[in-house]
Structure 1
């Protein structure tokens, strides 16, 4: 079992033992857009406003990660963020979240839970893989945050296979999940937001999004790519198809006792994750035996 703080102490005692926790995928809170309540952008915006991402980073992620930019763009691709969003950060706003719901016609019941104009309670399940302790803790914190704005959220912890099947088959209300990664942010957003995307559990289907993604892939001109990405960022901010949480750390340890040449903070030539392909093979090709 990987325990960051314990391994950090161990690293300080063994000069050959090292660790590096670079940003991996972008972790999102996915709403099932087939749910009539979550289909309401006002509800999604209220959820987005109520989450204390700083607390998640400190308590659930051991302080090793930070909230994403509200556009969902990862730190490595910060140059793609539209200037008007470059310095935008998440700030929990419980009062604003409740006002948003009230202005949209939601009324709080005697039990403290808001009810939609159609009479539906704002009561959801939140799915996370059983045993993924940091994400489980993050979901517990999200549930507590949403309770403060009159939403009843119960955390469910299915096994990985059931979790993945539930997301793919839209058998969930809310779920914490990863994004697919690639050489640029294009693949992440294409998979996450395109109706034919490789990982679009929320079910987002929007012509303007499709057009922006097509504009991005149709050119190698960086300025035009930035224009296309700005449109996608507008959609993320104003329509909230998903709710960015934090960048997922790549938990990575290595020893230089027998081999050197591992990717690290000083030489970040590749992803260090052993489960990535073909990156793992590239990493192996860079290693040099230690001569004794």
Structure 2
């Protein structure tokens, strides 16, 4: 390797990561020197107490957690229905229960990372967007306008008199998403839509979502991995994995009321070198995502980069921008630090 002289380790041992609970145990016992599991605050505090030389960096993972509705089927095919349901969901509470260290995403659904909102979206633009704040009374009024009504038991009936009852899916191995799934089911049930969380094994979950075999699911949202660029996020939402899973159509109306070819929009976004043109394209895409309520994000994930100085030293300061390399694949940051010669066995 052309940087072999910079690497101060003879081997790297990678332990199985079957679920987050296993990795918490590794960290607690000092069996791994570096890991990035989503971890509740009490468990984080316990790890830091057991391993006094452990540090925690919290860079953005360049992605949000979100709620996906299967737009191929009723009632989710009606964007006004999706907008009504958005007001029935307490996104801040979802974040608090799911991921203590994440950033709140509780106003919009525009598919731009909240941490980069100021970079790409003007205040004037944001002021014109629909805000999906938590407002159950507004949700109720909107549903009634669409012909829905409550039955004798207080639960919602569709315009044909059929009860609304949903299953919410999530990957079973994502402990934080399971918490979100349970909380979302509880919130919707309290609102009058009896819902049940059903986790699915990871290897089955993703193909099943892509096949459109679900009603509501916990999914990635505003995924800007790799490039920290809006092209990445809107490609995934309109054309990539997320778009395929929730059933995004090929065209949607834009801010001026005309149909926008989403593939053409994303292609221009990824090919232009004109920054002003790029910002206009991003605002058009953000408007489409928000005003059609394609997906409802509820937090921006912060990577929990645990690193233990007891065994390895040379880690960057927890606020060093080098940690931003970890978004979407934390191991790449480790590789860069190793080949640059930053990391060494403790005491060497």
Deviation string 1:172-230 (CA, Å, 9 cap, x unpaired) is: 00100124423112212211222xx1442101014223343233123122221111111
Does the C-alpha gap of structure 1 residues 22 and 266 become closer, same or farther in structure 2, counting only changes over 3 Å?
closer
Q: 2 CA distance for matches of 1:276 and 1:266?
A: 15
What number of residue pairs does the alignment pair up?
289
Whether 1:129 and 2:171 are equivalent positions in the alignment is yes
Deviation string 1:83-128 (CA, Å, 9 cap, x unpaired) is: 2455786531000011111111112222323222244432221101
Whether 1:23 and 2:60 are equivalent positions in the alignment is yes
Q: Is the 8 A contact 2:59 2:327 kept in 1?
A: no
- The DSSP-based 3-state class of the residue aligned with 2:67 is strand
Q: 2 CA distance for matches of 1:274 and 1:35?
A: 31
Any unmatched runs of 5+ in structure 2?
Answer: 1-20, 25-38, 252-259
Give the greater-gyration-radius structure (CA).
Answer: 2
- The DSSP-based 3-state class of the residue aligned with 1:128 is strand
**1:224-239 aligned within 5 A:** 224-239=277-292
Q: 2 CA distance for matches of 1:76 and 1:56?
A: 19
State the structure with bigger RCO (CA 8 A, min sep 6), 1 or 2.
2
TM-aligned CA deviation for residue 12 of structure 1: 5.8
Any unmatched runs of 5+ in structure 1?
Answer: none
Q: 1 CA distance for matches of 2:184 and 2:210?
A: 22
User: CA RMSD for the aligned pairs?
Assistant: 2.6
Q: Is the 8 A contact 1:30 1:174 kept in 2?
A: yes
**1:94-105 aligned within 5 A:** 94-105=136-147
Q: 1 CA distance for matches of 2:276 and 2:329?
A: 34
**1:281-292 aligned within 5 A:** 281-286=335-340, 287-289=342-344, 290-292=346-348
Deviation string 1:115-162 (CA, Å, 9 cap, x unpaired) is: 222444322211012243322221222122223433222111111112
Q: Is the 8 A contact 1:130 1:160 kept in 2?
A: yes
What is the TM-score with the length of structure 2 in the denominator? 0.74
Deviation string 1:15-65 (CA, Å, 9 cap, x unpaired) is: 53101222212111011111121101122112211111211222222x211
What is the TM-score with the length of structure 1 in the denominator? 0.87
Does the C-alpha gap of structure 1 residues 291 and 154 become closer, same or farther in structure 2, counting only changes over 3 Å?
closer
